[in-house]
Structure 1
Amino acid sequence: MDLTLLYRGPLASCDYDCPYCPFAKRRDTPEQLRADRAALERFADWAATRTGDTLSVLLTPWGEGLVRSWYRDAMVRLSRLPHIRRVAIQTNLSCRTDWLAGADLDTLALWCTYHPGQTPYDRFLAKAHDLAARGVRFSVGVVGLPDHLEHARRLRADLPARVYLWVNAAEGHTYTDAQAASWTELDPLFPYSRHPHRSGGLPCRTGESVVSVDGDGTVRRCHFVRAELGNLYDDSFRAALRPRTCPLAVCDCHIGYVHLETLPLYDVFAGGVLERIPADAPSPRVPQGLGTPGRY
């Protein structure tokens, strides 16, 4: 079986406190951190034994995972297994990067977000260039808030040209055509993020070849539909896998609508769906006066 799993354990603590972030915010207790570590290690153990399957894994923690050793260890371990096609994680890139030396970089990838005001720009940029020098597959993005636009322009100018810069429409924010055009200059795929996608009754890969998994092993079709399909660890979920239509009216999150069969995004991101890297990464126009992008 060829299966994509979006794993989200109980971790909810983050070293950033972005006011626009929809994720939970708390300070995890040592007991909660131990529970999160045990849950992730159980998931990695399960994935390691499924040698008859081809698995792709995206870790989507509510908090920041890579500042925790067990997320780094799990990614290195899974990246080195021949039946794992891809292991990726959403991260703010605040962690150190030396751990990547132990990973199989043909399999591991990072989906990185720059949060202005939460980390010095030069520190984030230096880490991005370090990833490029190491040969890591990664994308970089920002939330499309008005006061982030100049930060995003600067980032596009300073990143290696081959690094895709994505822009997420800010939750609850509407864009005039002129505003949307400014973001589209930086990310030609921004129009996919600008408006929620009608999804009700339309075919979606979730529940068939894509599922979400929580720390207890509960399997759902995606993070946004609460109905349970079974459990990962007793294999009960497999009997429930089948083609499905979406039960929700709209889908407004990239990790959800990318799997809609009515959108062309599996072709757009072929080979890079989980890490959000287009098959043919766009070469956006660099705004005048911001320098020349680096290359690698």
Structure 2
Amino acid sequence: MRLMLLYRGPLASCNYDCPYCPFAKRRDSPDQLRTDRADLARFTDWVAANPHGDTLSILFTPWGEGLTRSWYREALTTLSHLPQVERVAIQTNLAGRLGWVADADPGSLALWCTYHPGQVTRERFLAACATLRGHGIRHSVGMVGLPEHHAEAVALRAALPAETYLWINAADGHTYGADDEARWTLIDPLFGFSARPHSSLGDECGAGETSLSVIGDGTVRRCHFLPEPLGNLYDGSYRAALRPRGCTASVCDCHIGYVHLKRLGLHQIFAGGVAERIPAVGAPTWGAPTAAVRSAAAESIPLR
């Protein structure tokens, strides 16, 4: 079986204090950090044992910043060398040291990097991206689409190589009019998928079939946004629940969720790069969006 696992342990601390993030500058206690480290070690050992003979893609989606913690760097390096791991990626602000990537397998390691203006200079962030390129590490780059950050996004797009995908996430609670959406779409031609939530109730989704959410104690859910457990990773009880089914939420407004909504066709757009949010070669990544992208992105509801 080919499975994508989104792993989120108890880590919730971050070195940044972005005003739009509830976990900004949060500190974990020593006990919380020890639990997070032990949970991650158990997960890494399970992947290494591969008890069901699956082919795995893994995306770490911590509430906080993982790469400032040695155990995430070590886990990513270890997992990148396992033959059953097609891809191992993590969402990161890219503030941590990057020398460790030299020990990882660039054929399977990837980073999903977010630039936060006001927390780091553009020059320093671009230097970190250059380090990743120098080691041949696949990565996407993105920002939150706040109006006050539009000029910075334009400058970042101009400074990045054309082949680096720059994604834009719609800001929570922000409404995008037609002109606003058009401005952001010139930077990210796939922005329309993020600009407003997607109706999802009853729509078939790969979550719970080919993609799963795993938390630190091994509880498996369809995705991060549906609380009903399917079973536990470590006793294998989740496997009996793997099947195609409709979404039970009324809307889906996060990329790591709606990327699996089958009607949107995003697995085709991001073929080979779903975990790290990198579109396939030939997919629109810069400039005017194609008619197909505009049409698919419009199949959502204006709730923001």
Task: Give the TM-score taking structure 2 as reference length.
Answer: 0.92
Secondary structure of the corresponding residue to residue 57 of structure 1: strand
Aligned positions of 1:105-116 closer than 5 A: 105-116=106-117
| Residues in 2 aligned to 1:207 and 1:185: alpha-carbon distance in whole angstroms | 34
- From 281, 286, 291, the equivalent of 1:284 is 286
Residue 57 of structure 2 contacts residue 85 of structure 2 at CA under 8 Å; is this kept in 1?
yes
* RMSD of equivalent CA atoms: 1.3
> Contact conserved, 2:15 with 2:25, CA < 8 A, in 1?
no
Cα distance in 1 between the residues matched to 2:73 and 2:4: 20
Preserved contact between residue 129 and residue 159 of structure 1 (Cα < 8 Å)? no
Post-superposition Cα deviations, 1:133-186, rounded to whole Å, max 9, x if no partner, equal 221100000000001101100100111111000000001111111111110000
1:1-296 matches, cutoff 5 A: 1-23=1-23, 26-50=26-50, 52-280=53-281, 282=284, 284-285=286-287
Aligned-partner Cα distance in 2 for 1:216–1:283? 37
Q: Distance in 2 between matches of 1:284 and 1:211?
A: 30
Contact persistence 2:14–2:23 (CA under 8 A) = no
Return closer, same or farther for 1:88/1:252 CA change in 2, 3 Å cut-off. Answer: same
State how far apart, in whole Å, the 2-side matches of 1:141 and 1:180 are.
16
CA displacement at 1:194 relative to structure 2: 0.5
Q: Could you say what secondary structure the match of 1:186 adopts? A: coil
SS in 2 for 1:142: strand
SS in 2 for 1:222: coil
**Partner SS for 1:226:** coil
Q: Aligned equivalents of 1:285 and 1:243: distance in 2?
A: 35
Aligned length, in residue pairs:
286
CA distance change for structure 1 residues 251 and 283 in 2, over 3 Å: closer, same or farther?
Answer: closer
Q: Equivalents in 2 of 1:284, 1:193: separation in Å?
A: 16
> How far is the alpha carbon of 1:98 from its aligned partner?
0.7
Q: What amino acid is the match of 1:14?
A: C
1:29 shift after superposition:
1.1
Secondary structure of the equivalent of 2:75?
helix
Q: Which residue of 2 aligns with 1:294?
A: none
- TM-score normalised to the size of structure 1? 0.94
Other structure's SS at 2:186 match: helix
Decide whether the 8 Å contact of 2:200 with 2:250 is kept in 1: yes
Shift of 1:283: 5.1
> What SS class does the counterpart of residue 267 from structure 2 fall into?
helix
Match of 2:300 in 1: none
Residue identity matched to 2:16: Y
- Deviation (angstroms), 1:88: 0.4
State the distance in 2 between where 1:175 and 1:42 align.
43
Displacement of 1:200 in angstroms is 0.2
Aligned residues: percent identity?
64
Conserved in 2, the CA contact under 8 Å of 1:66 and 1:72? yes
Q: Which runs of 5+ in 2 are unaligned?
A: 289-304
CA contact (8 A) 1:132 1:160 kept: no
Instruction: Give 1:282 deviation, angstroms.
Output: 3.5
Cα distance in 1 between the residues matched to 2:219 and 2:287: 44
Distance apart, 1:26 and its partner CA: 2.4
CA distance in 2, matches of 1:31, 1:230: 26
Q: In 1, Cα distance between the equivalents of 2:286 and 2:259?
A: 21
Partner of residue 297, structure 2: none
Distance in 1 (CA, whole Å) between partners of 2:210 and 2:14 is 30
The question of whether the paired residues in 1 share the 8 Å contact of 2:12 and 2:63 is answered with yes
What is the Cα deviation at residue 240 of structure 1?
1.1
Aligned 8 A contact 2:76 2:88 in 1? yes
Contact (CA 8 Å) 1:66, 1:91: kept in 2 or not?
yes
Which runs of no fewer than 5 residues in structure 1 stay unpaired? Answer: 287-296
Q: Is the 8 A contact 1:144 1:183 kept in 2?
A: yes
- The verdict on how the C-alpha distance between 1:144 and 1:50 changes in structure 2, with shifts beyond 3 A counting, is same
